[in-house]
Amino acid sequence: MPRRSSAKVTAQAAVGAPFATMRSVPARAQWSVLGAISVGGAAGAVARFAIANTWPSAPNGFPWATFVINVTGCLLIGVLMVAIAEIWPRHRLLRPFLGTGVLGGYTTFSTYVVDAQRLLEQRAAATALIYLVATLVSAILAVYAGTALARLPIAHVRRIKGDTA
């Protein structure tokens, strides 16, 4: 029977992307990230569930709840990425909690596809096509808008402070 080493258990984690180097990460650090994602994901899923149940759609009607959830989630992802990169870069659990967890649990692009399939089964092809295109375009524009809106106050503060970075 092999002896266990008393050295800390580590795992390899990629740094950067796509051609990342590997670095050792203590196993306990992975558990804290997993915990942050799990708690955030539960919160996001509960919010999505509440909105979807409050705003049901007809079998052949436009799925407004899913559309609004995905577009607002993308807007918040844009805001979050600017906030993490430029305001709170040192909080290592913030992105896993809010980005992967809360917003990952909140947005529902799998339901987006299921809704489109349901519309096609209900012979509402025009509604399905409008829904597919409108969601895709709106989601991309929402991320852009979120990043632009989040950068406005940062630029204002930098101008006041005389920072050109």
Q: Which domain holds residue 22?
A: 10-161
pLDDT by position in tens, the chain (length 165):
554 444 444 444 445 544 555 556 566 668 888 999 999 999 999 999 999 999 998 888 999 999 999 999 999 999 999 988 888 878 888 889 999 999 999 998 899 999 999 999 999 999 999 999 999 999 999 999 999 999 998 888 878 887 655
Is 148 a domain residue?
A: yes
- Four-residue CA torsion sign, 142, 148, 149, 154: positive
Q: Are residues 154 and 164 in contact, defined by beta-carbon separation less than 8 angstroms?
A: no
Q: Does a structural domain hold residue 102? A: yes
- Determine the pLDDT at residue 5: 45
pTM above 0.85, yes or no: no
Is residue 129 in some structural domain? yes
Residue 25 has what pLDDT? 59
Secondary structure E strands in the chain: 10-15, 21-26
Distances (CA, A) of 4 to 7, 8, 9, 24: 9, 11, 11, 19
Q: Per the structure, how many domains does the chain have?
A: 1
Q: What is the pLDDT of residue 10?
A: 46
